[in-house]
Structure 1
Amino acid sequence: MSKRIVCLRHGQTLWNVEHRFQGHTDIPLDETGMAQATRAASLLAALRPTLIVSSDLRRANDTALALGRVVRLDVSVDKDLRERGGGAWEGLTREEIAARWPREYVSWEAPDGEPVTEVATRVAAAMRRWADQLDDNGLLVVASHGAALRLGICELLGLPEEHWSALGGLGNCSWSVLEQGRRGWRLLEHNAGTLPEPVSSDDN
């Protein structure tokens, strides 16, 4: 086996339920989100992670800590794994965003928000940096956010930006699995851990 990365999205928050753009706002998991994190931890423990790292935002860090407790690993924190910054959109619903910024809503680019290319670059760089610490057969779990993980995965796979929308979003406490091969990283699983259901995320 080769090095692998499990990209784990955080559990549900109240703002997920209310369809509010979270971005860098530090929203905690709700009761359902904590239960999701516990369930995901019990499943991912079977993969025997060797390293766990999370975003510095509580919703991702608490999701990672649930796994760390089960597998008895410390959780490292990396600010580069934060969600995409939404600027003035943070805390607003999609309906509110569409009403105030109709043109920007179509492209899902907040005027003062973080460009998708910058998110993809910083998240992929962080994943590479932590994966470099793995032994040859090690498994890294990265607990992060919907848009951040999808964009980071696209960059890590070397997909052209015009094809990034082909990769769907991640549900709360669902994950994707990447493996390092001779020609780079490849996607083994995507949005695993749940039956198909609508994804509520800052992602478009």
Structure 2
Amino acid sequence: MSRRVVCLRHGQTLWNVEKRFQGHSDIPLDETGVAQAARAASLLAALRPSMIVSSDLQRAFDTASALARVTGLSVSVDKDLRERGGGEWEGLTREQISTGWPREFADWEAPGGETVADVADRVSSAIRRWADRLDTDGLLVVASHGAALRLGIAKLMNLPQEIWPALGGLGNCSWSVLEEGRKGWRLMEHNAGTLPEPVHSDDSPEVTQE
């Protein structure tokens, strides 16, 4: 048996629906998001997770807490699992961003925000840190955010940065599964848990299906 990590994106928020950049803004789940978290919890509980860790932002923590209630596990919190910081873009819609910062929008680099490389480093390091606490056959559930998880997964798999956009975005309360092999982490499932649907997140437009 190998150690596994389930990377679970949080449920829907009002800002997701409005296509606003959330970043580090602490936006709660909406009614749909609460229902999504409950559904995901009922499915992921069947995997018998060993440990749950969450971003410190409410939307991720409440998603993790739904699984904790079903499994009886507690939720550990790690600030390094936060979403990519959006700087001056937080709270703005994609339309507002593309109009106000056309050059930065094309590169998806927010003024005052985090770079993709920095996010990939902090999220992948956090996942490794918690996975190292697992037994050989343990399962860790990481509740985090769309861009943060995609970038962290890409880094964990040692993919060259120029091909990170080839890894698509995660829908609300969808998840990806990583398994530790002899040559490192490998992706077993990606964006699982729902039928294909548009992805609304803080991630780059080129990796989401608008």
Question: Above 0.5 in TM-score?
Answer: yes
| Unmatched 5+ stretches in structure 2 | 205-210
Match for residue 50 of structure 1? 50
Matches of 1:138 and 1:98 in 2, distance apart? 43
SS at match of 2:118: helix
Match for residue 207 of structure 2? none
Matches of 1:25 and 1:43 in 2, distance apart? 28
Structure 1 letter corresponding to 2:15: W
SS at match of 1:6: strand
Match for residue 130 of structure 1? 130
State the TM-score, normalizing by the size of structure 2: 0.97
1:79-158 equivalences in 2 (<5 Å) = 79-158=79-158
SS at match of 1:202: coil
1:62-73 equivalences in 2 (<5 Å) = 62-73=62-73
Deviation at 1:82, TM superposition (A): 0.1
Matches of 1:166 and 1:68 in 2, distance apart? 32
Deviation at 1:39, TM superposition (A): 0.1
Instruction: Report whether the alignment pairs 1:182 with 2:182.
Output: yes
Q: How many residues were matched structurally? A: 204
Instruction: Report whether the alignment pairs 1:167 with 2:144.
Output: no
Deviation at 1:111, TM superposition (A): 1.6
Match for residue 30 of structure 1? 30
Match for residue 8 of structure 2? 8
Instruction: Report whether the alignment pairs 1:61 with 2:90.
Output: no
Matches of 2:39 and 2:186 in 1, distance apart? 26
Task: Please give the root-mean-square deviation of Cα atoms over the aligned residues, in Å.
Answer: 0.3
Structure 2 letter corresponding to 1:93: T
Deviation at 1:191, TM superposition (A): 0.1
State the TM-score, normalizing by the size of structure 1: 1.00
SS at match of 1:186: strand
SS at match of 2:142: strand
Match for residue 200 of structure 2? 200
Structure 2 letter corresponding to 1:37: A
Structure 1 letter corresponding to 2:147: A
Matches of 2:143 and 2:127 in 1, distance apart? 11
Query: For residues 146-175 of structure 1, what are the alpha-carbon distances to aligned partners after superposition, in whole Å with 9 as ceiling and x for unaligned?
Result: 000000000000000000000000000000
Structure 2 letter corresponding to 1:51: M
Structure 1 letter corresponding to 2:137: N
Match for residue 208 of structure 2? none
SS at match of 2:63: helix
SS at match of 2:23: coil
Instruction: Report whether the alignment pairs 1:39 with 2:39.
Output: yes
SS at match of 1:142: strand
